[in-house]
Structure 1
Amino acid sequence: MTNIRHQYKLYNQMLLILIMSSIWSSCKKDKADHTSTSTTHPVTAQSSAYVTQMLEYKPAPGQFINTSTGNATAAQSVLNTNAGLVSLGAFGGYIVLGFDHTVINQANQNDIIVYGNASTGFAEPGVIWVMQDTNGNGKADDIWYELAGSTVNQTGYRRNYSVTYTRPANGTGDVAWTDNLGNSGTVKANSFHTQAYYPTSITSNTYTLAGTLLPSTNIDSSNSTYVTSTAFAYGYADQTSGGDQIDIARAVDTNGNAVQLTGIDFIKIQTGIQYNLGWLGELSTEVAGVADLSLLKK
């Protein structure tokens, strides 16, 4: 009887070992699968400091849209350089660009520089979004995270804002808009730019752009002949002559919670303010290029 009990106990121990081995193998597999979702594309000798892919260009209506600085060719001009120039139009207009490597989130320092055409006393702030290629497929189909700038939670700052634009009946002239707050207005045409302001690349008669709305409190249009738009403290595109340096560590989710990213592979820049600047036309973010600061320093 003692021998039978001993054999039974030994059998149970062996069974327990097999079960634990199976669980451990499963855990190792799960861990490996989780790690694989945090893909990074390493820097090589051929890597460019600048963005190398233009993945999407969807401008809002504006005075430079459908001109040499407001079309797909202009959007391509910002690749591999800091001397291109493309206009994003009024609120919500955006461009999506990609690097040929993962821009690593460096501790306690800025990681990216976004070039625009801002000048002293005149900024046209653009919201910056970033994406890591977590699924490793080389496509901008993962999650966009906003890089939180200095206006977060200030009066006039609003997430999940959207504007719908309507094509003018005659093709040219003012472009009407309505937003998801019940407001309405127009992107006003002016005598300096007489082409259609509604993008010819949009085939439908209406389209909607959504993103984060920034405050317009830094704009002074009280003197109609000398309008100023002062730059925010930090965190936005097209604010500083020479480019705006940005920290990936400021990434937040849709609720404003901080997100820890290993690095980013894609960047989206989007006009953040809906404002008519009088004879200067609509406020529209411009982009001249984007670069990985760590490679520029080498």
Structure 2
Amino acid sequence: MNKRTANYLKTGALSLLFVGIIASCKHDDNEFSFNGLDDSYTIERFKVLNIPTNISGSFTWSINDSIISNNSELEFISAKADAFPLTLKIGHNGEEKVYHSKIVVTKETGTLSKYIAKVLDFRPAVGQFMNEIPEYVQGNTSADMLQKASASLVGSNSTMLSLGGFGGYVVFGFDHTIPNLNGRDFKILGNAFFGNASNDPRSGSCEPGIIMVAYDRNKNGKPDDNEWYEIAGSEYFKNTTTKDYSITYFKPNENKVPVPGNDGWQTDIEYIKWQDNLGNSGFKTKNTFHAQSYYPLWFSDASYGFTGTRLKDNFYDQSGTGTYWVGKSYDFGYADNAPNTDEASNIDISWAVDRNGRYVKLPGIDFVRVHTGINQEAGWLGEVSTEVAGAYDLHYKK
């Protein structure tokens, strides 16, 4: 063997050794390193139990014969105190391993409420009920009005809160996670009602609001921007619905606004100017029924605005003479869109979607945001404005 050949073989041997080391490392990375499940897990009802695996593979979590998750990390919540047999099957490198445990759900130690527990933000748009519901008193700040909004919505004796025209919103939360179970999970109360027209029975006064939900994944007690998901109601995927619609309202000079007469719809006046990101502009009108300022008086800015999903206008003149306007109810997924006794006012958390319109699987929700979804003037009735009169968990039972 000549020297050159020997050197080549030495180099080749080193290369083979190096490749062997890499292959060995890769083999180590692919080793199955799951330590198994605990014998049992204990969690209070309406709290989320997290069981991570921290490995790759295919996962099937089941209770009895029902598959509850296919994720690598289980997020489990129950509205019922009971013991649940848990099975985990993991597929890895062509093999399947099976683990057994149980989840013991206990009754909570404290007292929970199925109703709204706190209001975190209140920023209404302009409207005829502004400064009245809730009432503004001279000198009130945003903090004062937030406190009044809380007084309106928190607890079982909630009253009504007006969000004004498109974009006006309220954010509220609960003292527990509302679980995402089979069927509809929570109800939002409003003041919608149906009229008497036999040819259009699901129409009347329906002012649909867009619903956003958030699960407090990091447990910091507030909804972070990356935790919000929109409830995809019946209109979400239609081309008549506008995503990322923006509107700006301009503060009027109240001293130059004429006073409407007393003959209702014939004397509405152009009042608060608005413009949107689609090149449109117009006015919110003032009517004879509400003489106060329609611009939130605790806002000092000369203009303010909102961005969000906008629904197609839903009000029309049923009389044909301008005397009787009605708003059609959309099928499902909106606030103030149907009477409180109607199934359409119940919301399924499984309807939640991300920014790209893809459905997400949330274990439950802790926060809700509602904004007025329509930008329309309904004749003498004035602007379409969502009202919120409370909300509650449909699963909670003492």
TM range, normalised to the smaller chain?
0.7 to 0.9
The structure, 1 or 2, with the larger RCO (C-alpha pairs under 8 Å, 6+ apart) is 1
Matches for 1:217-296 after TM superposition, within 5 Å: 218-221=314-317, 222-242=320-340, 244-295=345-396
Alignment map for 1:18-33 (pairs within 5 Å)? 31=54
Matched, 1:91 2:187: no
Go from structure 1 to structure 2 and tell me whether the alpha carbon gap of 1:78 and 1:172 turns closer, same or farther (over 3 Å shift).
Answer: farther
Partner AA of 1:274 in structure 2: N
Q: State the match for 1:126 in structure 2.
A: 209
In the other structure, the counterpart of 1:104 is: 179
Gaps of at least 5 residues in structure 2 are: 1-20, 35-50, 56-70, 80-106, 137-144, 195-203, 258-270
Per-residue deviation at 1:163?
0.4
Greater shift, 72-81 or 229-238, is seen at: 72-81
Residue 200 and residue 35 in structure 1: after superposition, are their counterparts in 2 closer, same or farther (change >3 A)?
farther
2:306 maps to which of 197, 209, 217 = 209
1:83-128 alpha-carbon deviations (Å, 9 max, x no partner): 4100000000000000110111002x00010000011121011111
| Cα-to-partner distance string for 1:191-227 (whole Å, 9 max, x where unaligned) | 21111111123221111101100011x3212441100
Report the equivalent of 2:289. 192
Residue 81 (structure 1) shift: 2.3
Assess if the C-alpha contact under 8 Å between 1:82 and 1:115 holds in 2.
no
- The residue number in structure 2 matching 1:159 is 243
Deviates more, 1:176-185 or 1:146-155: 146-155
Partner amino acid, structure 2, of 1:110: R
Alpha carbons 2:52, 2:73 under 8 Å: kept: no
- Structure with more strand by fraction: 2
Partner of 1:191, secondary structure, is coil
Once the two structures are TM-superposed, the CA of residue 69 in structure 1 deviates from its matched residue by: 3.4
Instruction: Report how many aligned residue pairs link the two structures.
Output: 277
Contact 2:53–2:73 (8 Å) recurs in 1:
no
The TM-score with structure 2 as length reference comes to 0.63
Structure 2 contact 242–310 (Cα < 8 Å) conserved: yes
Report if aligned partners of 2:130, 2:294 keep a CA contact under 8 Å in 1. Answer: yes
Q: Is 152-161 or 42-51 further displaced after alignment?
A: 42-51
User: Which letter does structure 1 place at the counterpart of 2:191?
Assistant: N
**Alignment map for 1:60-79 (pairs within 5 Å):** 60-69=125-134, 72=145, 73-79=148-154
Report the TM-score, using the length of structure 1 for normalisation.
0.83
Q: What SS does structure 2 have at the residue aligned with 1:127?
A: strand
Query: Cα distance 1:278–1:241, how it changes in 2: closer, same or farther (>3 A)?
Result: same
Q: Provide the rounded CA distance (Å) in 1 between the counterparts of 2:245 and 2:229.
A: 15
Q: One-letter code of the match for 1:230? A: K
Deviations 1:59-99 (A, max 9, x none): 00000011143663145311112641000000000000001
1:290 & 1:168 partners in 2: Cα distance?
Answer: 34
- 1:98 and 1:37 map into 2 onto residues whose CA distance is 24
Tell me the residue number matched to 1:135.
218
Q: CA 1:241 to 1:214, structure 2 compared with 1: closer, same or farther past 3 Å?
A: same
The structure with more radius of gyration: 2
Helix, strand or coil: the match of 1:77? helix
Give the counterpart of 1:179 among 276, 301, 304: 276
8 A Cα contact 1:83 1:288, kept in partner: yes
SS in 2 for 1:294: coil
Deviation at 1:175, TM superposition (A): 1.1
Query: Within 2, Cα distance between the matches of 1:204 and 1:30?
Result: 51
**Residues 202 and 38 (structure 1), Cα distance of their counterparts in 2 relative to 1, 3 Å cut:** farther
Letter in 2 for 1:240: A
Call closer, same or farther: CA 1:130–1:234 in 2, change over 3 Å. same
CA RMSD, Structure 1 to Structure 2 (Å): 3.0
For 1:35 and 1:200, locate their aligned partners in 2 and report how far apart those are by CA, in whole Å. 51
Taking the aligned partners of 2:74 and 2:273, their CA distance within structure 1 comes to 43
